[in-house]
Amino acid sequence: MTYLERESFSEYDQSLALVYDKKYTQYMQGTTHPERPERLVYSLDMMREESLIGDVIQKVTPESASLDSIQQVHTNRYLQRLYRQSRKGSGSISADTKITDQTWTAARLAAGGAIRAAELAWEQQYDSAYAFTRPPGHHALPDRAHGFCFLNNTAIATKAIRQETDCSRVAIWDIDAHHCDGTQRVFYEDSDVLVTSIHEEDATKFLNIGGTEYTGEGEGRGRTVNIPLPPQAGDDAYQAAVEQIAQPISESFSPDILLLEIGFDAHFGDALSQMHLTANGYGDLVRKAQNFANTHCDGRLGLILSGGYDFTAGLPYSNLATLNALLGGPEDFVTEPNQPPTQVTGENHITRAREAQAHHWSL
């Protein structure tokens, strides 16, 4: 089966580090749980069929995050609970987040993968670095897990890169369908980390702190940017959110590195959201992040996988469009098996988000 319309990836001269370990496909929360190994397996099958791995894409094996790096984000009390329940081998730490005997090890390895991708992006050994990891992390709070997340991978990587290098300012763009409540909580009072979340507006999901009125506190005032979009928002709405809000604010913030937390659950085929992004729409967003990093961050861009649960179509096709964009490929590269439904522009939502940020930034 061929998934691409045009020339082979092997003709591209961009390099990509795929931070990956086989153990990411062995961890399970349950055979029917949405967050399961097939999320990565189907995408890896596509990569192999297109002869990507070992050619322009180099696999980099991560190490587990150290306890010290995890403690920079999470409380000792929570970590002790997570460790004990994982050793016990069963239970729930929240309604949708199940504990198994693999949880502690898998979560530490995922956090370590995010750290390694950030390090590679900073060191620029490759043109880009992508933490292709699971379980995801952006819902994990300092003191508890939820939303399929145990350790906040992106927050841990952000803390690590600031401690290990002379990186002082980090911009995070989160384009998962769901709000990055955990990441927001970690950095809500931090003046040196800009957290921008483009997500589906839904008052019933998670902590309900993704509204435009949440913009940071104390030294972090203006460093939290929430752009909730209406259900059925698609490519044009996401493009406008980046162009009109995320990009100009990040430019004014002047980060040293951009970390893109990419969740493919905003794809129109994903049952865990009502958003209508296409695979090529994801590619366009990645291309914008890459252009921003090249212009304002000396090319330092790290990607960290978050959600995405339509593992037979939405996730692997969107992931392929992402790889194509990172490797400098053409637009509209991937042909999907299904046609996207009608999309809404979300213009009013973007206007409200702009107005909320006008107190802190010139837009």
- Rounded distance between C-alpha atoms, residue 316 and residue 44, angstroms: 8
φ/ψ (deg, to 5) at 347 = -60, -45
The helix (run of H) or strand (run of E) holding residue 359 is none
Nearest alpha-carbon partner for 143 in 185, 200, 203, 192: 185
- Local structure of 263: helix, strand or coil: coil
CA distances from 43 to 2, 166, 307 (A): 13, 35, 13
Contact of 39 with 314, CB cutoff 8 Å? no
- Rounded distance between C-alpha atoms, residue 309 and residue 246, angstroms: 25
Sign of CA dihedral 210, 314, 305, 82: positive
- Local structure of 92: helix, strand or coil: strand
SS3 content of the chain, % helix, strand, coil (to 5): 40, 15, 45
- Rounded distance between C-alpha atoms, residue 82 and residue 289, angstroms: 34
331's torsion region: left (phi>0), alpha (psi -120 to 50) or beta?
beta
- Rounded distance between C-alpha atoms, residue 197 and residue 357, angstroms: 13
- Beta-strand ranges (E) seen in the chain are 16-19, 57-60, 92-94, 97-98, 128-131, 170-174, 193-200, 224-229, 257-262, 301-305
- Local structure of 12: helix, strand or coil: coil
Q: Which among 74, 138, 139, 349 is annotated as catalytic? A: 139
Catalytic status, residue 139? yes
Q: Which residues are catalytic?
A: 139
